[in-house]
Chain A
Amino acid sequence: MERLFLFIYQYRAFFTFLVLQVICLLLLVNNNQYQSAAFFNSSNALVASINRTSQNFRDFFSLRETNQQLAEENAMLRRQLEQKKQSIYSLSVREIQDPEIVNRFDFVSARVTNNGVDLFKNHLTLNKGKKHGIQPGMAVVSAQGIVGKVKSVSDNFSVVTTLLNIDVLTSVQLKRTSHFATAKWNGQNPDYVDLLYLPRHVQPIKGDTVVTSGYNAVYPEGLLVGTVEKVSLKDEALFYDITLKLSQDFRSLTYLAVIKSNLKVEIDSLENTLNTR
Chain B
Amino acid sequence: MTIYRVIGFFFFLLLQVVLFRHVVLFHTAFSFIYLLFLFTRPVETNPLISMLVAFAMGLLVDMFYDSAGLHAMASVAMMYLRDFWLTRITPQGGYERNANPTVAANGVQWFLVYSIPLLLVHNSVLFFVEAGGVGYFWITILKVIASVTFTAFILVVYQLFFSKQ
Contact = CB atoms under 8 A, between A and B. Distances in A.
Contacts of B129: 28
A47 B55 CA distance: 18
B27 A27 contact: no
B106 interface: no
B81 to A, nearest CB: 9
Nearest to B127: A120
Contacts, number: 109
Most chain A CB inside 10 Å of its own CB: which residue of B30, B64, B76:
B64
Given A42-B64, A51-B64, A166-B136, A16 B72 contact: no
Q: Chain B binding site: helix, strand, loop or mixed by DSSP?
A: helix
Contacts of A25: 69, 73
A190 interface: yes
Interface of A: 12-14, 16-17, 20-21, 23-28, 30-32, 38, 40-42, 44, 47, 50-51, 54, 58, 114, 116-121, 123, 125, 159, 166-167, 186-190
Contacts of A188: 27, 139
B139 A47 contact: no
B47 A13 contact: yes
Given A40-B59, A120-B131, A24 B73 contact: yes
Contact of B67 (A114, A117, A121, A189): A121
A166 B83 contact: no
B69 A17 contact: no
B51 interface: yes
B30 A123 contact: no
A169 to B, nearest CB: 14
Interface in B32-90: 47-48, 51-52, 55, 58-59, 62-70, 72-73, 76-77, 80, 83
B70 A28 contact: yes
A189 B70 CA distance: 22
A118 B64 CA distance: 14
Interface string B134-164: 0010010000000000000000000000000
A119 B76 contact: no
